[in-house]
Chains A and B, each alone.
Chain A
Amino acid sequence: MSKILGIDLGTTNSAMAIVRGGEPAIIENAEGARTTPSVVAISKTGERLVGLLAKRQSVTNPKNTVYQIKRFIGHSFDEPGVEKDRKMVPFETQKSANGGIEDGSASR
């Protein structure tokens, strides 16, 4: 029997919930927290990091740590608001084939 997982993808933090006995319940992450930072990274050793671990190393690896990505989801690269936001983030962004935005490290 499959369960439905609901994800609240927030700009800064995300949460996941399932229905248990008719009531929605937030699932804790591996670190025991109910919310997970909306951050992903590729560490300098090539390791993929998600959430808290990605956030912890963000200072050492700003170019390969992606956060606040929700600001770009669903927008096109040339929108004025997007242009402003792009200047605020340290990671590289580029125009995708369909005119959207993709992370510079997307190929990895």
Chain B
Amino acid sequence: MDFFSRSLNLEASSYLWYNPAAMGDDTQNERAADDVNFESEEDPSRLEDEAELGDIGVAKAKLKKLREELEKCKKERAEYLDGWQRCKADSINARKDTEARATRLSEALREELVHDTIPALDSFDMAAGSDEWTHVDENWRDGMENVRNLLLEALRRHGIARYGKIGDRYDSALHEVLAELDDAPGESGSIVRVLRHGYKTADRVLRPAHVFVKKLL
């Protein structure tokens, strides 16, 4: 057995080293090893390069896609921000408008009441300006004038003033000129006759006065 095993070993060793088939196998093995070596020395690097190149390509494509997405996001962000800012501004403006409208509404109601009251006062003024007015009983006349003054006082308490008197300087913000007179006494551009009085609040003319003015030179 020992002999056989030794001879087998020898044979095996000779087989390993001298057997042409084994040689061929070895060569093949060597070639394979060479191939493996070649692959281990060259191909893996190429593969790595290719892999790297592939990775870079993929990364670049990914980067490009991300950049595009970023640009899209930036654009959308700007759009949304703009829309939000506009909405916010609109909301602030709407709130201010509502407040202003509420104030205006209360003023409008007050003005409406004044506008409805003014014709009565105009009638008083016309009556007081007529010739007959001087012929009526003095006490009765004083009484009627007091009634008018009470009405005017009531308006004054609500911040409404009556204006327009002869000799005042004409102002287009307050007066509406119905005629210019050449031969009237007074300074040029001054009011020579008041046809109807004007009414105003602190900051607004409710009704302009109708006047005649001395002709402006």
Give A contacts to B, CB under 8 Å: 1, 20-22, 25, 31-32, 43-44, 49, 53-54, 56-57, 59-61
Give the chain A neighbours of B73 by CB distance below 8 A: none
Of A20, A21, A44, which contacts B216 at CB under 8 A?
A: A44
Give the chain B neighbours of A43 by CB distance below 8 A: 172
Q: Does B97 contact A (CB under 8 A)?
A: yes
Asked if residues B172 and A20 are in contact (CB atoms below 8 Å), the reply is no
Q: Taking chain A's interface residues, is the majority helix, strand, or loop, or is none over half, making it mixed?
A: loop
Q: What's the minimum C-beta distance from A104 to chain B, rounded to whole angstroms?
A: 19
Q: How far is the CA of A92 from the CA of B30 in the complex (A)?
A: 115
Q: What's the minimum C-beta distance from A90 to chain B, rounded to whole angstroms?
A: 14
Give the chain A neighbours of B160 by CB distance below 8 A: none
Given A20-B94, A59-B177, residue A1 in contact with residue B86 (CB < 8 A): yes
Give the chain B neighbours of A20 by CB distance below 8 A: 90, 93-94, 97
Residues 34-88 of B contacting A (Cβ, < 8 Å)? 85-86
Give the chain A neighbours of B208 by CB distance below 8 A: 56
Q: How many residues of B contact A (CB 8 A)?
A: 26
Asked if residues B178 and A31 are in contact (CB atoms below 8 Å), the reply is no
Asked if residues B180 and A56 are in contact (CB atoms below 8 Å), the reply is no
Q: How far is the CA of A25 from the CA of B98 in the complex (A)?
A: 13
Asked if residues A57 and B177 are in contact (CB atoms below 8 Å), the reply is yes
Asked if residues B90 and A21 are in contact (CB atoms below 8 Å), the reply is yes
Q: Does B213 contact A (CB under 8 A)?
A: yes
Give the chain B neighbours of A21 by CB distance below 8 A: 90-91, 93-94
Give the chain A neighbours of B215 by CB distance below 8 A: 60
Q: Can you pick out 11 interface pairs between chain A and chain B where the beta carbons lie within 8 Å of each other?
A: A1-B85, A20-B90, A20-B97, A21-B90, A25-B97, A31-B205, A32-B104, A54-B172, A57-B172, A57-B177, A60-B177
Asked if residues B179 and A59 are in contact (CB atoms below 8 Å), the reply is yes
Q: Apart from A31-B205, A59-B178, A61-B216, what 15 extra A-B contacts exist at CB < 8 Å?
A: A1-B89, A20-B93, A22-B90, A31-B204, A43-B172, A53-B173, A54-B172, A56-B172, A57-B177, A59-B177, A59-B180, A60-B170, A60-B180, A60-B213, A60-B215
